[in-house]
Amino acid sequence: MRSIFLQGKLLQNPKKLDYFKKWSTTFDDIDVWHKKNKISKLESCLGFIFNNKFIDKVIIGVDSLEELKQIVKIKKLKKVKSYFPESNDRELIDSRLWKEGKLIDKNQLLWDRAKKTILGGNMLFSKRPDLFVPNKWPTYFSRAKGCKIWDITGKKFTDFSLMSVGTNILGYGSSKVDNAVSKAIKNGNLSTLNCPEEVELAEKLTEIHPWSDQVKFARSGGEASAISIRIARAAAGRDNVAFCGYHGWHDWYLSANLGNNQNLNNHLLPGLNSKGVSKNLRNTVYPFNYNDFKSLEKLIDEKKNWNCKNGSKQKSNASK
């Protein structure tokens, strides 16, 4: 993607920008290449993008009516054996280095360090900067209050994104919450014994949700989902599970992709890899789309008389 960004930059006149002056000879060669091949910089830029086998869809932004007219005029992109003179100079081709030839973004520096010691770069997949704006996302925060976040460079942002993956409905740094937490810390928040608040919370939850008889506490959403699946299978005496949405990295969930690696593509995060998941779990979980009751009813009707194990179909008395 950085290569494509550079292509777009070349549509402007990079020789006028101070940082690019030391590559003026390279840009002269690029100009000569365009004249020799009788192709405009716009055409070569679009050709470079559309001939990339890893790209299947493109959104084109235009700065002016004139630029739009130029794009519309292109009936067919010219095919050339190779695109204009390539450069292996990282200070030119990597946009992160485009100031004094050094990495200036502390967020990116720290993220590069993190990927060397943390598998995947961080704990939560949904917080990876590559899901948002690679190399430009303010990956790390120094403080947060209300709906405001300050990154480690001190730059202030308004969080229109995930609000801590949807958990901070009261906003960051809520005084009421912070005071209660501080009090608990002063009294000691961990010991061999249980905390009485656990009972109070359980009673409150069953009061709010009268359909429930008891509660089971978990440390994360993924763990809570795994516990729910185990309880459901134990109570029903069956293995098959229908679900919708994203439920984390646990084997029961990722096993949906064992039969078809695209089964989970419509459930928040596409392209989830099922490597390492036991093949014995194949054909035990089946996704359906949220609010699509017909597909759920069809799925239940198809699977209710079968108990799928090890990829083979066996009659299940439990389904009756």
Please write the tens of the pLDDT for every residue from 80-139: 666 555 666 767 766 666 655 455 578 988 998 999 999 989 988 888 888 887 777 899
Q: Any residues with CB less than 8 A from the CB of 94 and at least 6 apart, and which? A: 2
257 and 282 fall within a common domain: yes
122 and 65 fall within a common domain: no
pLDDT at site 121: 92
User: Residue 70's closest CA among 41, 96, 99, 98?
Assistant: 41
Q: How many other CB atoms are there within 10 angstroms of residue 13's CB atom? A: 11
User: Around 214, how many Cα atoms within 13 Å sit in the side-chain half-sphere?
Assistant: 4
Q: Any residues with CB less than 8 A from the CB of 139 and at least 6 apart, and which? A: 107, 108, 110, 111, 129, 151
Average pLDDT in the 68-80 region?
A: 76
Question: Which residue range forms the structural domain that includes residue 313?
Answer: 221-319
236 and 290 fall within a common domain: yes
- Given its phi and psi angles, is residue 88 left (phi above 0), alpha (psi -120 to 50 degrees) or beta? alpha
CA 99, CA 95: separation in Å to the nearest integer?
A: 9
133 and 112 fall within a common domain: yes
91 and 45 fall within a common domain: yes
CA 87, CA 90: separation in Å to the nearest integer?
A: 8
188-192-196-198 Cα dihedral, nearest 10 degrees:
100
Residue 173 DSSP SS3: coil
Would residue 203 count as lying in a domain? no
Q: How far apart are the first and last CA of the chain?
A: 54
DSSP string, 92-140: HH-GGGTTTTS---HHHHHHHHHHHHSTTSSS-GGG-GGGTSTTTS---
Encode pLDDT of 214-238 as tens digits.
Answer: 999 998 888 999 999 999 899 888 8
Distance of CA 243 to the CA centre of its chain: 20
The last residue of one of the domains, among 62, 97, 132, is 97
Would residue 285 count as lying in a domain? yes
CA 287, CA 67: separation in Å to the nearest integer?
A: 45
pLDDT at site 157: 93
Would residue 52 count as lying in a domain? yes
Would residue 207 count as lying in a domain? no
The last residue of one of the domains, among 43, 62, 97, is 97
pLDDT bucket at 4, cuts 50 / 70 / 90: low
pLDDT at site 86: 64
39 and 122 fall within a common domain: no
Would residue 12 count as lying in a domain? yes
Average pLDDT in the 138-160 region?
A: 93
pLDDT at site 98: 64
CA 190, CA 54: separation in Å to the nearest integer?
A: 50
Would residue 206 count as lying in a domain? no
**320 pLDDT more than 80:** no
85 and 131 fall within a common domain: no
91 and 111 fall within a common domain: no
User: Residue 266's closest CA among 286, 293, 283, 280?
Assistant: 286
CA 89, CA 97: separation in Å to the nearest integer?
A: 11
26 and 112 fall within a common domain: no
Distances (CA, A) of 108 to 98, 124, 128, 156, 215: 13, 17, 12, 17, 42
Which pair of tokens denotes residue 184? 């608990």
Would residue 176 count as lying in a domain? no
Would residue 63 count as lying in a domain? yes
**192 pLDDT more than 70:** yes
305 and 269 fall within a common domain: yes
88 and 111 fall within a common domain: no
CA 118, CA 218: separation in Å to the nearest integer?
A: 24
pLDDT at site 200: 96
CA 306, CA 248: separation in Å to the nearest integer?
A: 26
Query: 191 near 210, Cβ under 8 Å?
Result: no
Residue 53 DSSP SS3: coil
235 and 313 fall within a common domain: yes
The last residue of one of the domains, among 150, 166, 182, is 166
Total count of domains within the chain: 3
H/E segment holding residue 294: helix 293-303
